[in-house]
Structure 1
Amino acid sequence: MSLAPNETQRAVISAVVKGLVPLKMERPQPLSTWAENNFYLSPEASHTQGEWKAYPFQRGWMDAFSNDDIEEVTVRKAKRVGYTKTLLAFIAYNAAHRRRKQALWMPTDDDRDSFVKSEIEPMLRDVDALKAVMVPGKEDTMKLKSFFGSVLHLLGGKAARAYRRITVAVAVLDEASAFDQKIEKSSDPITLARGRLEGAPFPKLVAGSTVRIKDFDHIETREKNADARMRYNIVCPHCDAEHPLIWGNKKVRHGFKWDGHDYNTVRHVCPHCHESITQADYLKIWDDRAMWISECGRYRYDHNLHVWTDAQGVVIRAPRHVAFVEMWSAYSPQRAWSDIVREFLEATIKAKAGDTAPLEGFVNETLAQYWEAVVERADEHALSRRAEKYRRFTVPYGGLVLVTGVDVQDNRFEVVTWAIGRGEEMWCVDYSVIYANPADERDWSHLDAYRKTIFQHESGQAMKIEAMAVDTGGHFTHQAYNYCRQRERERVFAVRGDPQPSKMVKSKATVQDVNWGGKIIKRGVRLWYVGTDTAKDLLYGRLCVEKRGAGFVHFCADLPREFYTQLTSEARVPQRVAGGEAYKWMKSPGVRNEALDCTVYAIFCTHMLGLHLYTGKMWERLESIVQPPNGDLFRVEQAEEVSPADVPRETHTVETRSAQTSEVPVTEPASPPEPPPMVASPPAPATPPKAVPPRRTFQRPSRQSHSARSW
């Protein structure tokens, strides 16, 4: 009796074995080893086609990608160092070897589409290890690729929705420096991407890029937070001392040196013995006599043995967050050292003629260094020293109209109120943080309570806010629309920032016909687009005014330090554009800017009220009403406390807190005659209200005549 399987049995066994192949677990390998055995260079995306072999310096960050002890990897690199190919190998490694869900974000959807077509799809076609784990019959899309046991999300990074509703173990941001500083008023892209890793047993966050402007770069922020900043060091063949390759300059004897303008004579001078090596000499030692060493000296990575050691060579655990910095073009055999010097000489000639764009590109893309641009920014310390002794909720002489800007955040409303006077002189009379849930329509009543707050003028008049602008660009757009739509006649404006150059502070409105519940309504809310960069230019000019009077900006002594930090959080930075150079307002990563946004929206309110069109006679009439010569006869002994009867239930209470902290509630400074800040409390028993002088009603300037204004 024959025990050999028949043809049908052999077919079944073959099918079972083939079906179990994707479930086979390979012996764990570092990425650099796995890539050399499995990765393949596609002809569409590479100068050469065939099997992959990593450069020695690439193995350092590749193995950091695959090391589960390392949770975050940051790479500051130049062009032509092969970083993109190592990233592709890591994607293939996660799908075929680790079977881990992953997401890759590019700066825009167009960047994503181009990357998928030119890099991802050829890789899926040519790498055998990936073909073995692809799901048969599964139709993939531009945004999603499916594998046995894992998926790959491919996303553009401009919209906040791109960072929601996905759960992954690996988050990758390519060209991180090109992402927006803040994604739709939510958070920075790296923080949002990290949020997708929560709960993963071995979370991994990778961000790499050629960098841009100093103090305004996501990579710079992540570098500062790294546990170890690694540089690739070679051993000098003359003195055996370790050092990185350095560009250098005229003030030092080491680094790149050449004779006159002859870039072909370039060599690298050792900072220890001052002996020279050529690029050919470097390529002889770049593997066996080179190693990644941290700036602090406590960490070393041997890319040949795949181990982390301390300074004495003892094997240690890898740090949690590793940054590989200044991986510039001189390390790569794809760039000739003479070509680097030639590029610098040409860029220098153009810079002397006034065109700094080539030099900026050389610093960023060849040297992998930050460009130190000359920026325009107000000094927060100088502004805080100008603080005056008037109290919050008190309007000094000169302040005639109150306007308020509101910024809506996930768990609070940030509010700044300004008093505007003759010549658009400005007094900051309040900065409040109202903690609430903007997703709950009931919590928006707290803005009503704030809007009805009584401010006391130094003349004795009782004043209320005349116009309020509410930002609708965050997560609670429809809730903001609904709030403003019901209060348009009370001069509550729905606004959204528009940073287009030369955009008017107040431009045309569009009608939004969807309410907070997403339903179509007949009478939509008018949405006003605010020229934010124009308003910031205007504000910056006023902050530079040093003499009191028209255009001068006053600050209350009760304002916290955080207010000044936020007000000066952005700088006017030169940017390369198609037509030459333009200026754009940019925020430093990790710094909040709500106070600045609120102030921009308050300036918009002044334009809606037409205050920028007022003549001297108009201001005189306004002054005679708000601060009459006999103002003491009408002085209010105590302003009315604002506590609306329709306060939400206790479970929806709100507190106004100092902006010095967003974590611990504190009590606002209280001193007569300042009215108490808005604190929601249970409705009090009905009592006769205190007598308050009737509030004058502000009316917009007449288009027919600028001489008659009524209050």
Structure 2
Amino acid sequence: MATLSDLQTEREKLRALEAKATYDAALADTASHKDVVAAAAAMRAALNTAMRGIPRVLAMAIDGETDETRVHYLLSDAIHTALTGIGVDVEQACTALPPAGEQFKRGAQPRDLLTVSQWADRHRWLRSGTNAPGRWNTALTPYLREIMDALSEHSPVRSVVFKKSSGVGGSEVMMNWVGYVMHHLQNKDMLVVMPTLELRDRSFNPRMAKMVEETEALAGLISRSARDKTNRADVVEYGAHARIIRSGANSPDSLRSDHLPYVITDEVSAFPWDVGGEGDPMTLIENRQRTYSRAKSYFISTPTVAGRCRISLLYSRSDQRRYHVPCPSCHTLQHLEFDRTGVADHGLKWRTAPPVDEETGEVLRPRVLSAWYVCKNCHAEIPESSKTDMLSHGKWIPARPSIKRTRGYHINALYAPVGLGVSWRDIAQKWLDCQGDTSEMKAFVNTYLGEAWAEQGDSIEDLSLISRLEDYDPMALPFRLITAGVDVQKNRLEVSYVGWGEKEEAWLIDHVILPGDTAQPEVWTALGESLVEHRVRQAVVDSGYNTSMVYQFCATRRWAVPGKGLAGTARPLVEDEKRRIARLRRRVKHQHAVEPIGVDQGKALIYARLKMDKIGPGYIHFPRESAFDDEYFAQLGAEKLVTKVRGTRPFQEWVQIRARNETLDCLVYATAAMRLSRVNLDQPPPPPPDPNHTAAPAPARRRRAVSRALSPR
């Protein structure tokens, strides 16, 4: 039986064995002074030899190359290869102490030299919401490769401007750059700015969360917990000390952040020109990058209206690149164009079905049967099936190659890859469908052609409008809707009555001047009788003068609303239905829900339609009546849209070029009344309303008051 002394002896033996094992391990990891000195000398000699050869390696890498971007990339690639070789040379030279050589090689090995497109091809996955699920493949959209690579860390480009149509992959470039910075660079802060905080939360944040979830390389970088402080709506923290800051251009507080190197501005043309009284948000954003000599910015947007379109302004300051593709027949490089005039001998062409049904004789809606492209050089007809090969052999060519650090890329929907976007036939059909409708035409130019819409209605010649007078009986036409616009002056009310047909074709019925003190009820009684007489279904009354009388008049007529004209070329003529409902719910207790009227857009719309020379949708007719005399048309053409520049910022404003403009204001309000009525002008006309259609003031109950305010007569 073991005694206590035996147990103690055994314990000491175990301790001795453990100490010896520790000593042996330490001895094995210990090098003699002689070996350390020899290894250091060998490493120093190998390193000096390799470093002396680097200048020659770099010179050979860029021999004969003149393009700055290419030179920068070749130098980065050469030094990457040289560092890898130095590690191998030092390891082989360090025979006296192999572990030291291995550690030096591991420390000298640089990370992979990847471009954004290479990173996306290697790591990005698309698992839903796409026609091509699976690993990202830049070859499907080859025109995006150069744009992405210009955003790479080793590219000398500092600003990338992408002026584009919808659906060509501009947002995917943004997401790939975000993933590249998070996974490959790992230590860079980035600011992503959307037009509004609402759009950030509704659009960008879900897209980024989807990308992180679908891309394995990113999934472990950030927490998926909504409660985690590193995963908020405005900031995502990843890596050790890196952040993706997500902001809105309408919030100056969200633009106040630490200095950072990388910035993305999505839909930059929708940014306000002044935010919170603190100036241009673009200047606030630029201030965040001042301390970085290698800062990068990516500006992306579909264009808006010429003269106040940010992306067009930024593109005009760039080297202005277009993607040129070769003709399959003559191999001439050319950028794809859409001929809006219809007279060019090249561009997109199409064939339509017969305009009249052979059996019934009915005039049919234009229908495109096939579309193709005609080469600018040899005039060969190019089928859309050739587009895939054309895109793969295309190249970006700058119009201003002297500009090096700011690259601008412009592309339209004709480049959309086959199967991943709209077809040439779809584009031609959309073009035919939007003829005669200035709103649809504007959307086509912006979102299909990727071009800014040039307002045609900037001014009109009043004398030329007199030639538009026609002989027709306004009250005999089958209008779908009759509206009125009322302008209030101190000593009179002026009213324009407009009848509306299919697709907003308009017939002026009458323009009436009701004299009288507008602070007294008599003239308002006359207005009510005149509106009933003309069978008005919706009216907008200017509330800028004698406001209390306007409120009193509209309170008992739910089909008449007070309107407040608000300037601003970006303000819509009338609010969209969702925003209007929200506003009416807030203001219903006051019983006077004043409708904000975007008069600048209304004037632009009317002037554009007054320049139309083809009768049809949107055309405005004038009767040969005494009310429509020289003075009427002089007032109609009393304003002019001019472009001005404040500092470096262009803006547009309406300038009154004669003293009186009441007829223009009345027509704007009558047009706004048509939009507020929510009447579908493509439906058959309704039966005539009750001539005594008056209503008691809206009740105090909240829900009923809102419904009354929203329902057209």
What's the TM-score bracket when you normalise by the shorter of the two chains? 0.3 to 0.5
Structure with greater helix percent: 2
Q: TM-score, normalised by structure 1?
A: 0.48
Structure with greater strand percent: 1
Q: TM-score, normalised by structure 2?
A: 0.47
